[in-house]
Chains A and B, each alone.
Chain A
């Protein structure tokens, strides 16, 4: 039987950590994985596995030769596809010549290596690639992830209209949370086409970072991990920090992010006089992040918006107790007082009170919660299971 060819498309290779995990979950699935998109410098895949990359180079000089090569390839192997492609571009794009070569550099490798399924990771990219279904009959699977569903279409009416016209025609939708799945119903998507498959973790990779001691540090160490973006809601965590410090309870807050803090965060730290109580860390490797998490007492996810935050899954896998806002799909993972703690989204008083509770809990209580968190991850977010579920979804399209 011919193996199924699935393109996992996010626009760049390698992609964000959770998309890479999806790719890895399919490594031994018997499915052939194609990767398209712009090549990032830290690109490294084991080609002996079933992963084939047809990435587009970033440098302009290479790009020129790349387009020539791809054009020659399509001319000799499938010239009709080239005619279809160019005709489509001219007909569908008003100012078709603007950005034509960039478009060609991205589209040609895909048309030269047409997959059976094109799995789009970010909904905003759907309008750009839907032609693969119209012209070449490629099945389209779309992943629903946070921002592209939760708020982008609220601010962009044109995008919302595009979603309404395209979502019903997508072959299958993969949602990373039940919450997101309900969000897209308004775009006329057939419920039967939506599959909720949670993100997964390779639990083996956490074996060296398992927390074994829940005795708290002095000061109590809170930690958050994530970029400085408004949706991460750090201002609420900082305000709660201030409220707790005002009660003379010793605490410290570490925020790990890729870049330096933005003006908003700096303003809060300065205005609330938190300079001595907040540390910003820029760590290079994921291992360093896990190590820092292991050495902390509690993770805070003060986010306003999330699909399902991977850092929470990672924290639970490490055995680090989690305080999460109840935004979007977070309640599907964190059950208050069972496997973690939740607070009302944007509610500083509630977050403060939950933080105070966690500080006051005994180590055995924190351990109990952390163990329940780990059990939840093992049961619902195991990477192998995720790969199996995705495989079933892909194959169901060719039954």
Chain B
């Protein structure tokens, strides 16, 4: 079976949920080809870049004409299929030809499944699968449902009914998608993210894990983006600093809001406590998880969050916000703690409370977290579920 995997860009280091999914597909014997702009020398499978849209109007028209003529000569039936389907959807004449150009590279391939890694990648590609007689699968993720439709509430109207199978990473996300027109007519399954449980194992035994109370090590792994709520996290840590808590806080991850966050840390007098160490390799991330006491993920919006799974697998004490999928990721008071989002005082209070619990009692939380992750979030579990997804 040949699967075309559509993304905007090939996965970054931090997007383990994508790399593990592709890896799983390849290991299950599927032939995977990715349609995405190549970034980070991604090499798990062949990557075919999206066509470039030229700023020069004349040049762009020329490119549209040439590429569409080539497609017409090579695959006339598919060429006509696509244009007819677009017409049926009342897409304007101009946009039909634009969309044909944008999808030319996918339409040139014979595929059994076309799988969109994000719902936003399927916009303007709604008719590609049907044109080449392939099945259409799609994953919805946090940004797709919680943020993108705020600009255009009807952005997925055309999409839902074209999908053969929809994958959601959490129940909350699926429910939220309903406000944008998703209904029972679309077949769906919830397959939660997974992690390599054989890799994320703490070197120390659970009984030996203790909070370093002389200097608490906090850790967050996140893109530097407003959805991750890092300013609120810093505010909470400021409250704790004012109460004389000695700590260091490491943020792993890159992003375009570095300036915003380093300024926040500076303004809150946290320069000596906070380190932004950028994107890191898995090995280094694991080392940080190994050395940290408390994992914080105080997001404003979150699909599910693999980093919280990894932290739990390593036996870290995790405190997260109640943003969307995080409430399914952590079981409050059982595998970690869930705090209402955007309330730094509440986060600070929760951290204080956790620090006041004796290590012996915390051991049970660590144990619960590790056990639940091993049982419910392993790669093999995900592999089985995706096999069902494509074959049933």
How many residues from B make CB contacts under 8 Å with A?
A: 21
B259 interface neighbour in A151, A266, A267, A345, Cβ under 8 Å: A151
The verdict on A289 contacting chain B, using a C-beta distance below 8 Å, is no
Pair B257/A151 contact, Cβ less than 8 Å: no
**Complex formed: what's the CA distance from A392 to B260 in Å?**
37
Assuming A230-B257, A239-B342, is B150 touching A305 (CB within 8 A)? Answer: no
Q: Which residues of chain B come closer than 8 Å to A231, judged between CB atoms?
A: 260
Assuming A155-B258, A346-B235, is B263 touching A267 (CB within 8 A)? Answer: no
Pair B150/A263 contact, Cβ less than 8 Å: yes
Pair B266/A154 contact, Cβ less than 8 Å: yes
Nearest Cβ in chain A — how far from B101, in angstroms?
26
The verdict on B91 contacting chain A, using a C-beta distance below 8 Å, is no
**Complex formed: what's the CA distance from A150 to B266 in Å?**
10
Chain B, range 214-262, C-beta contacts under 8 Å to A = 226-227, 231, 235, 257-260, 262
Q: Which residues of chain A come closer than 8 Å to B97, judged between CB atoms?
A: none
Q: Which residues of chain B come closer than 8 Å to A44, judged between CB atoms?
A: none
Pair A151/B146 contact, Cβ less than 8 Å: no
The verdict on B43 contacting chain A, using a C-beta distance below 8 Å, is no
The verdict on B129 contacting chain A, using a C-beta distance below 8 Å, is no
Pair B259/A154 contact, Cβ less than 8 Å: yes
Q: Which residue of A lies closest to B225 (CB)?
A: A264
Assuming A155-B258, A239-B342, A346-B235, is B226 touching A264 (CB within 8 A)? Answer: yes
Q: Which residues of chain B come closer than 8 Å to A266, judged between CB atoms?
A: 147, 150-151
Q: Which residues of chain A come closer than 8 Å to B71, judged between CB atoms?
A: none
The verdict on B301 contacting chain A, using a C-beta distance below 8 Å, is yes
Q: Which residue of B lies closest to A150 (CB)?
A: B263
Chain A 328-353: CB-based contact to B (< 8 A → 1; otherwise 0): 00000000000000000110000000
The verdict on B197 contacting chain A, using a C-beta distance below 8 Å, is no
**Complex formed: what's the CA distance from A9 to B325 in Å?**
50
**Complex formed: what's the CA distance from A304 to B266 in Å?**
12
**Complex formed: what's the CA distance from A318 to B257 in Å?**
35
Q: Which residues of chain B come closer than 8 Å to A263, judged between CB atoms?
A: 147-148, 150-151
The verdict on A279 contacting chain B, using a C-beta distance below 8 Å, is no
Where chain B touches its partner, the secondary structure class is: helix
Q: Which residue of A lies closest to B146 (CB)?
A: A267
Pair A345/B150 contact, Cβ less than 8 Å: no
Q: Which residue of A lies closest to B143 (CB)?
A: A263
Nearest Cβ in chain A — how far from B303, in angstroms?
14
Pair A155/B300 contact, Cβ less than 8 Å: no
Q: Which residues of chain A come closer than 8 Å to B235, judged between CB atoms?
A: 346
The verdict on B267 contacting chain A, using a C-beta distance below 8 Å, is yes
Pair B262/A151 contact, Cβ less than 8 Å: yes
The verdict on A98 contacting chain B, using a C-beta distance below 8 Å, is no
**Complex formed: what's the CA distance from A94 to B272 in Å?**
36
Nearest Cβ in chain B — how far from A247, in angstroms?
17
Pair B151/A155 contact, Cβ less than 8 Å: no
Pair B147/A267 contact, Cβ less than 8 Å: yes
The verdict on A152 contacting chain B, using a C-beta distance below 8 Å, is yes
A267 interface neighbour in B231, B260, B301, Cβ under 8 Å: B301
Pair B263/A154 contact, Cβ less than 8 Å: yes
Nearest Cβ in chain B — how far from A270, in angstroms?
5
Nearest Cβ in chain A — how far from B110, in angstroms?
37
Pair B226/A155 contact, Cβ less than 8 Å: no
Nearest Cβ in chain B — how far from A306, in angstroms?
12
**Complex formed: what's the CA distance from A271 to B263 in Å?**
26
Q: Which residue of B lies closest to A327 (CB)?
A: B267
**Complex formed: what's the CA distance from A239 to B147 in Å?**
18
**Complex formed: what's the CA distance from A231 to B258 in Å?**
13
Nearest Cβ in chain B — how far from A227, in angstroms?
15
Chain A, range 199-250, C-beta contacts under 8 Å to B = 230-231, 239
Q: Which residue of B lies closest to A348 (CB)?
A: B342
A230 interface neighbour in B147, B151, B226, Cβ under 8 Å: B226
Q: Which residues of chain B come closer than 8 Å to A346, judged between CB atoms?
A: 231, 235, 267
Chain A 378-390: CB-based contact to B (< 8 A → 1; otherwise 0): 0000000000000
Q: Which of A152, A230, A270, A327 has the most CB of B within 10 A?
A: A230
Pair A305/B263 contact, Cβ less than 8 Å: yes
Q: Which residues of chain B come closer than 8 Å to A151, judged between CB atoms?
A: 259-260, 262-263, 266
Q: Which residue of B lies closest to A349 (CB)?
A: B345
Q: Which residues of chain A come closer than 8 Å to B231, judged between CB atoms?
A: 346
Q: Which residues of chain A come closer than 8 Å to B301, judged between CB atoms?
A: 267
Pair A152/B147 contact, Cβ less than 8 Å: no
Q: Which residues of chain A come closer than 8 Å to B150, judged between CB atoms?
A: 263, 266-267, 270
Pair B262/A155 contact, Cβ less than 8 Å: yes
**Complex formed: what's the CA distance from A69 to B219 in Å?**
59
Chain A 245-272: CB-based contact to B (< 8 A → 1; otherwise 0): 0000000000000000001101100110
Chain B, range 125-172, C-beta contacts under 8 Å to A = 146-148, 150-151
Q: Which residue of B lies closest to A230 (CB)?
A: B260
Pair A152/B259 contact, Cβ less than 8 Å: yes
**Complex formed: what's the CA distance from A230 to B267 in Å?**
14
Q: Which residue of B lies closest to A151 (CB)?
A: B263
**Complex formed: what's the CA distance from A263 to B148 in Å?**
7
Chain A 152-166: CB-based contact to B (< 8 A → 1; otherwise 0): 101100000000000
Q: Which residues of chain B come closer than 8 Å to A152, judged between CB atoms?
A: 259
Chain B 250-288: CB-based contact to A (< 8 A → 1; otherwise 0): 000000011110111011000000000000000000000
**Complex formed: what's the CA distance from A168 to B227 in Å?**
40
Q: Which residues of chain B come closer than 8 Å to A154, judged between CB atoms?
A: 259, 262-263, 266
Q: Which residues of chain A come closer than 8 Å to B262, judged between CB atoms?
A: 151, 154-155
Nearest Cβ in chain B — how far from A259, in angstroms?
12
Q: Which residue of A lies closest to B276 (CB)?
A: A155
Pair A155/B259 contact, Cβ less than 8 Å: yes
**Complex formed: what's the CA distance from A151 to B342 in Å?**
24
Q: Which residues of chain B come closer than 8 Å to A271, judged between CB atoms?
A: 300
Q: Which residue of A lies closest to B271 (CB)?
A: A154
Q: Which residues of chain B come closer than 8 Å to A264, judged between CB atoms?
A: 226
Nearest Cβ in chain B — how far from A265, in angstroms?
9
**Complex formed: what's the CA distance from A378 to B392 in Å?**
76
Nearest Cβ in chain A — how far from B274, in angstroms?
12
Q: Which residues of chain A come closer than 8 Å to B147, judged between CB atoms?
A: 263, 266-267
**Complex formed: what's the CA distance from A6 to B142 in Å?**
53
Pair A304/B267 contact, Cβ less than 8 Å: yes
Q: Which residues of chain A come closer than 8 Å to B151, judged between CB atoms?
A: 263, 266
**Complex formed: what's the CA distance from A155 to B254 in Å?**
13
Nearest Cβ in chain B — how far from A280, in angstroms?
12
Pair A155/B263 contact, Cβ less than 8 Å: yes
Add 4 more A-B contacts to A150-B263, A263-B147 (CB < 8 A): A151-B260, A154-B263, A271-B300, A305-B267
A-B contact pairs, 27 of them (CB 8 A): A150-B263, A151-B263, A151-B266, A152-B259, A154-B259, A154-B263, A154-B266, A155-B259, A155-B262, A230-B226, A230-B257, A230-B260, A263-B147, A263-B148, A263-B150, A263-B151, A264-B226, A266-B150, A267-B146, A267-B227, A267-B301, A270-B150, A271-B300, A305-B267, A327-B267, A345-B267, A346-B267
Residue numbers of A with Cβ under 8 A of B are 150-152, 154-155, 230-231, 239, 263-264, 266-267, 270-271, 304-305, 327, 345-346
